[in-house]
Amino acid sequence: MLSPRHRIAIFLHNGILGPKGKTGLTMLRYSRNNIVAVIDRDCPGRRLKECSGIDRNVPIVESIQQALPYKPDVLVIGIAPSGGQLPEEWADELQLALKSGLSLVNGLHTELSEMPEFKSCLTDGQWIWDVRKEPENLSVATGAAAHLKCKRVLTVGTDMAVGKKCAALEMHLLALERGLKSKFLATGQSGIMISGEGIAIDAIRVDYAASAVEKMVLRAAEQSDLLFLEGQGSLLHPGSSATLPLMRGMQPTHLILVHRAGQKGLANIPEIKIPPLPEVVKIHEQLATAAGALHPSRVCAIAVNTLGISEKQASDAIETIEAQTGLPCTDPIRYSPAPLLDSIMD
């Protein structure tokens, strides 16, 4: 639905500095679309790089009304609230955007295009794109991706929201720079908004989730030698069921484990401790291959999220994890994704 001609405003209240803005921040970091304004009542007038570290010259304003002078024609909901449902306090602002002539990209589970109060705001040429929709004509996965000749890389994590998507994107972009026939496969709302295609794995019935992944992988392999599948959730999190369908549908040849430096327990359930990383590596390899029944797959490197710590702390963390696991490690954003990509290509 998005095209290069669109002028985008990102709805990001409390998202630049808070924990729920990863959709909008990912758009700001990776999208090639023309983003003309960010709406965040916490940071109006401040520089985006100062607030987020993202080096993009986009003004931050307080409201939809203040974004209109920048002439956006599409509003992207860049916040991911818990459960993905529409908070009541957003409704008036989003309807104001529609009444002002903007179309709407919606990454929530709430299907705004089906709500009368939103549909009634639309005029000719306007649209609402509900990103989280189940694809049609799904069945049960067959493991067909195991017969593909291309390299298939899945990012997996020790927790939710540790940087699986960013690691996949950074490796994919470097692969393109090197002239490789690479493709990034999106499995969540922000990845779909950036790439313009993909599946929202958390909107698909569990029986068909692996099939949706399998179909996407088989299509992409026709023109690619290297596939990067955006990871979701975590095998260690009791509230997450996304990783296994990604493994089964893709039949990955390689896994990249993503871990936040210094994190000992799950962010939202700290009493659940993250096992030693060598054990985490083993469990991912065992599950990806179903103890040898399925296509061979190995964790070939670790992407370390060092956001918010000093340069010395970051380098020490990477050195420690390399020593613990014997695997190449780097922060693909702070430094370079080259060690990760090299581990795959080698």
- Whether residue 30 is found in the same domain as residue 92: yes
Residue-level pLDDT at 117: 95
Return the ∠ at Cα 4 (arms to 79 and 128), rounded to 5°: 45
User: Quick one: CA dihedral 239, 243, 249, 251, positive or negative?
Assistant: negative
Q: How many domains does the chain have?
A: 2
User: Residue 77 sits in which domain range?
Assistant: 7-130
Does a structural domain hold residue 135?
Answer: no
Order across the sheet with 298-305: list the strands: 182-185, 226-229, 151-157, 254-260, 298-305, 329-330
- Tokens 């794995």 locate to 201
Q: At 108, which CATH number?
A: 3.40.50.720
- Quote the longest CA-to-CA distance of the chain: 60
Residues 104, 177, single domain; the answer is: no
For position 81, what pLDDT does the model report? 81
| pLDDT (tens place) for every residue of the chain, 346 residues total | 788 899 999 999 999 998 889 899 999 999 999 999 999 999 999 999 999 999 999 999 999 999 999 999 999 999 988 777 888 889 999 999 999 999 999 999 999 999 999 999 999 999 999 999 999 999 999 999 999 999 999 999 999 999 999 999 999 999 999 999 999 999 999 999 999 999 999 999 999 999 999 999 999 999 999 999 999 999 999 999 999 999 999 999 999 999 999 999 999 999 999 999 999 999 999 999 999 999 999 999 999 999 999 999 999 999 999 999 999 999 999 999 999 999 999 8
26 & 117 share domain: yes
Reduced to 3 states (helix: H, G, I; strand: E, B; else coil), residue 31 is coil
Output Rg (C-alpha) for the chain, integer angstroms: 20
- Domain end call among 65, 97, 130: 130
Residue 95 shares a structural domain with residue 153: no
| Domain end among 130, 152, 185 | 130
pTM attached to this predicted model: 0.94
Q: What is the pLDDT of residue 4?
A: 85
If asked whether residues 294 and 157 sit together in one domain, one would say yes
Residue 36 located in a structural domain: yes
Q: Which residues contact 171 (CB under 8 A, 6 or more apart)?
A: 153, 228, 256, 332, 337, 340, 341, 344
Are 168 and 265 in a shared domain? yes
- Asked if residue 338 and residue 190 are part of one domain, the reply reads yes
pLDDT at 24: 96
| 90 within some domain | yes
103 and 240 both lie in a single domain: no
Q: Which two tokens stand for residue 83?
A: 């459960």
Of 130, 157, 177, which one is at a domain's C-terminal end? Answer: 130
The stretches of the chain forming alpha helices (DSSP H) are 22-30, 48-52, 64-67, 91-99, 116-119, 164-177, 189-195, 206-221, 243-250, 277-289, 311-325, 338-345
